[in-house]
Amino acid sequence: MVSLRGLTLTAARPRIIVPLFARDPAALCPLAKAASADPAAELVELRLDPLPADEFLNALALVRGIVDKPLVVTIRTRAEGGELALTPDAYAAHCRALLARGGVDVLDIEWRACGAFRAELRDAAHAAGAAALFSEHHFDATPATDAMADTLTGMADAGADIAKLAVMPRCAADAARLLEATARAADARPDTPLITMSMGPLGAVTRFCGGAFGSCATFGVTSGTSASAPGQPPADVLKAKLITAPL
């Protein structure tokens, strides 16, 4: 079971993660305070890629100084829909430096993009007391259902503590397929917490009902913070309307 500062990840009780997404380091402080103060925000994600790379360590220290909630630290590369183009070497170097700085509860590791560094980064996360979250993003389409289920089980088999998949639907059936792939992977690898979402307006429903299909967390925005991906609802609306299984 994955437990983060005493908070367990289980689909029976999906957790709400609020992302901090700012292009200016000065803007992070009010965002971190807003997420910290919002009772609907159970975990916080620090998205570093919109910031200048030489601010990453300062940003982590600043946010960690404000936020007591479990902190997910993410560098989303441009290849996976983020803001920063990085070689695998540079990506791994930033991740190592952040772990060495301390205060990371969960490190988001782009498991395909970081290629050869995957196992090393997972081990470095563990050595730093952090969970290794493997992630994959498709911002232009929803892969085949089998491929999505295989991605999630593949992450589990590759040693992920948490497996995350975000995809973009082109029709409502694509959102339904993401849920089906999640349910299949959750059945096949019940010991690995999954986090999945279909993005944009068509996928927003999956952010509310993913728990019923095996997703352990969902992303939403706190008043005053901005969305880090299309379709994220307000965290308080998520909290009020989250659907879990059994009903």
Ligand X SMILES: O=C1C[C@@](O)(C(=O)O)C[C@@H](O)[C@@H]1O
Binding-site residue positions for 3-dehydroquinate: 45-47, 76, 207, 228, 232
Q: List the x/- string, 144-183, binding to ligand X by CB under 6 A.
A: --------------------x-x-----------------
Q: Which one of residues 15, 47, 64, 177 is an interface residue with ligand X (CB under 6 A)? A: 47
* Per-residue x/- track, 116-135, ligand X (CB under 6 A): -------------------x
Which tokens belong to 217? 């967390």
Closest CA to 182 of 170, 162, 196: 196
Taking CB under 6 A as the binding criterion, the range among 2-10, 24-32, 85-93, 228-236 that sits at the site for ligand X is: 228-236
3 state DSSP class of 105: coil
Of 99 and 246, the one with the shorter C-beta distance to ligand X is 99
Q: How far is the CB of 164 from ligand X (least distance, A)?
A: 6
Q: Which residue number, 47 or 184, has a Cβ lying nearer to ligand X? A: 47
Q: Which of 218, 209, 220 is nearest to 243 (CA)?
A: 209
Of 19 and 154, the one with the shorter C-beta distance to ligand X is 19
User: Would you call 137 a catalytic residue per the annotation?
Assistant: yes
Contacting residues for 173 by C-beta, under 8 A, at least 6 apart: none
Contacts of 71 (CB under 8 A, 6+ apart): 43, 44, 45, 46, 63, 64, 103, 104, 105, 106
Nearest Cα neighbor of 20 from 2, 3, 4, 36 is 36
Establish whether 164 is a catalytic residue.
Answer: yes
Residues annotated as part of the active site:
137, 164
